[in-house]
Amino acid sequence: MATSQCRRLEGKVALVTAATAGIGLATAERLAEEGASVFICSRKQDNVDDAVKALRAKGLEVAGCACHVGSHEQRQRLVEQCVQKYGGLDVLVSNAAVNPGAGPISETTPDVVDKVLDINIKAAVLLVKEALPHLLRRPGSSIIFVSSVTAFNPPEPIGMYAVSKTALLGLTKGLAAELGPRGVRVNCVAPGIVPTKFSAALVDTPELAAQQAETTMLKRLGRPSEQAAAIAFLASPDAAYITGETLVVAGGMHSRL
């Protein structure tokens, strides 16, 4: 990723979940480049350590800890450690998600439904609940959810996952209405197809990647840095009058409910 010339987040503290690879890692890097102190997490401590080491080697202020966002105790510890390390919290980026099964929605097993809803929706809501007391203390604070362009038209074989991402669009609107009067903005980014480990099933052959690229107006797949740039914008003062919105970063893919 090219180093950002913007310093819109100087003095801010950002917490980014699932931030040791892909879009999450790119987001942590971009926010830190713009001046934020960034606290990251992932399920495995080794992955957190590697990401922190790599980002610090670039001169960025980053720390982190292991966290399974489905655990109340670990969510609580995550927010506490972030605030203890950096003295507060201005930006929450909720990026963690799972897709434990593939196939038609009507054939999804109960255990897969439970896991998708537990991590992709329930954990996002409860993480906001943990972070909110700290966000309310900081003028200009914001929450950003990472959804997906598939939220607008859930496709097989990832329909259940996509439906959980649809729920984040509603969560964004609902929380924005609740928290706007209290000074907290809430927005969402809906990435298109970005070649990462998480999306490997959609792009794991040149033929599949080409097919996905053809669904965009730009005729190419996205990059993690492009999602990170959108998230940084929404977290910054440049977006001070934007709340309750979903910014689609998908190269022109169809994106309306």
Could you report the per-residue pLDDT of 59-71, keeping only the tens digit for each? 999 999 999 999 9
Residue 234: inside a domain: yes
The CA distance from 247 to 236, in Å, is 14
Residue 208: inside a domain: no
**Is residue 192 predicted with pLDDT exceeding 90?**
yes
Contacts of 186 (CB under 8 A, 6+ apart): 142, 143, 144, 145, 172, 175, 176, 179, 180, 243, 244
CATH code of residue 102: 3.40.50.720
Q: Coil, strand or helix: which one is 104?
A: coil
Structure confidence by residue, pLDDT tens digits, 9-66: 999 999 999 999 999 999 999 999 999 999 999 999 999 999 999 999 999 999 999 9
Please indicate whether residue 157 or residue 186 has the higher confidence score (pLDDT): 186
Q: How confident is the model at residue 202 (pLDDT cuts 50, 70, 90)?
A: low
Establish whether 161 is a catalytic residue.
Answer: yes
Instruction: Give residue 173's domain range.
Output: 13-193+224-248
Residue 3: inside a domain: no
Residue 255: inside a domain: no
Q: How confident is the model at residue 195 (pLDDT cuts 50, 70, 90)?
A: confident
pLDDT at 3: 59
Catalytic residue among 86, 145, 152, 161: 161
Cα-trace Rg, the chain: 17
Structure confidence by residue, pLDDT tens digits, 167-182: 999 999 999 999 999 9
Residue 7: inside a domain: no
Whether the bond between 157 and the residue before it is cis, its omega within 30 degrees of 0, is: yes
The CA distance from 253 to 122, in Å, is 28
DSSP 246: E
Structure confidence by residue, pLDDT tens digits, 79-92: 999 999 999 999 99
Residue 151: inside a domain: yes
**Is residue 77 predicted with pLDDT exceeding 80?**
yes
**Is residue 1 predicted with pLDDT exceeding 50?**
no
pLDDT at 231: 98
Q: What is the pTM of this model?
A: 0.95
Q: How many structural domains does the chain have?
A: 1
Counted residue by residue, the chain has a size of 257
Residue 209: inside a domain: no
As to burial, measured by CB atoms within 10 angstroms (0-12 exposed, 13-18 middle, 19+ buried), residue 169 is buried
pLDDT at 217: 94
